[in-house]
Amino acid sequence: MVVLSKEYGYVALTGAASFLLMAHLSRSVVKARVKYNVKRLASVLGIIWIVSRVLYAQGYSSGKPEKRRRGSFGMVALLGLFLCTVNTGRTLLGWGPGLKWPVCFK
């Protein structure tokens, strides 16, 4: 049996506080995205990629590695994120006009 010290309560409270901080920051980001009309493509692609990694990890750790293929759709999202990154860098450097797609930022 594991015995935790009384002070371990601080660790638990720190974890809870970090959750509250992330909720507050997320709310602030959503407000700013609406205010400045920021496009969501990169965020959506990031969420898709994260979900695919979770499915990959679950399948891989199931003892049946062939189940990891359930997360393979994340490669499409990763390609989209790569294109967003290249387009953002190219546009910031002034190498031609911004492309219509991918619209990763305004």
Sign of CA dihedral 22, 28, 31, 35: negative
pLDDT for 95 equals: 86
Question: pLDDT tens-digit profile of 39-70?
Answer: 788 889 999 999 999 999 999 999 887 888 99
pLDDT for 106 equals: 52
Q: What does the chain look like in DSSP terms, one character per residue? A: -----TTHHHHHHHHHHHHHHHHHHHHHHHHHHHHTT---HHHHHHHHHHHHHHHHHHHHTTT-GGGGGGGTTHHHHHHHHHHHHHHHHHHHTT-SPPPSSS----
| 2-11, 35-44, 94-103: segment of lowest average pLDDT | 94-103
What distance in Å separates the CA atoms of residue 69 and residue 97, rounded to the nearest whole number? 38
pLDDT for 96 equals: 76
Q: Name the token pair of 30.
A: 């959503």
Domain boundaries of the chain, sorted by first residue: 1-38, 39-106
Query: Model-level pTM?
Result: 0.61
